[in-house]
Amino acid sequence: MDRSPASLPHPVTSTASAGLVVNAGPTLPPLAFFKLAAFDMDSTLIGIECIDEIATLAGKGQEVAAITEAAMRGEISDFKDSLRRRLALLAGTPASVLDRVLAERLTFNPGARELCAAMKAAGLKLVLVSGGFTFFTRYVAAELGMDFVRSNELEIVDSVLTGRLVMQDWGDICDGEQKRLMLRDCCARIGCSTEQAMAVGDGANDLPMMGAAGLSVAYHAKPRVREQAMVAINEGGLDRLLEVVRP
């Protein structure tokens, strides 16, 4: 990652306690030190990978899940390519499947609501930046009080998924680089430095934004992400971050 915890206002040490690993000092700055927090969605704020759930209901679960897992582990380095390959498998799927995933399968991860509420109370702006889809990010953002959102828009024609994405003003695929740019842009918009931002994620495509943030947090993450994060929550809920970054 391109940022060291040495830039934070404390010495660098490593501690570990009951599934909570801190590689950025014995005491981190209080929550109020930070002005912005950027979150991944799938498997971070929510307990599913939406594209895998769509694929399962479409009868393409195994093929899509295999590509998703390889991409999250970093074995497929080009996220855009992996996403296009997965979406192509979903061409022809009725758009009503999205409603079923939202109603039947989407659940928030433990502590997500509590952590976001604590951050909002401390005055932080919240960013949802996802390689997933706007159909789901709109719901999650509304539930958690997100201030900024960026994600991919599924193309739907005649109530059927085409297997493609809609071009937006920033591009068509929100990959790791777009996540990094979104974090930086949101910091600029609210007038804070990236040192005052934290980034929370679980997969390889979250590493660019985690590297750009003053504090990086891995949540039940892939090994490569856990190793590079300043804080790794390996057991328990997202609100365990409040044990080391106190309100």
User: Catalytic positions, please?
Assistant: 40, 42
Long-range own/partner contacts, residues 156-163 (CB < 8 A, 24 or more apart): 156/95, 159/94, 159/95, 159/96, 160/92, 160/93, 160/94, 160/95, 161/54, 161/87, 161/90, 161/91, 161/92, 161/93, 161/94, 161/95, 161/97, 162/91, 163/87, 163/88, 163/89, 163/90, 163/91, 163/92
Q: Report how far apart, in Å, the C-alpha atoms of 123 and of each of 37, 82, 126, 195, 197 are.
A: 11, 37, 9, 16, 12
CB 100 within 8 A of CB 48: no
Half-sphere exposure at residue 20, Cβ-oriented, CA atoms within 13 angstroms:
13
Closest CA to 232 of 182, 179, 224, 130: 224
Distance, CA of 190 to CA of 194 (rounded, Å): 11
CA atoms within 13 A on the CB side of 43: 20
Q: Is 205 helix (H, G, I), strand (E, B) or coil?
A: helix
Distance of CA 5 to the CA centre of its chain: 20
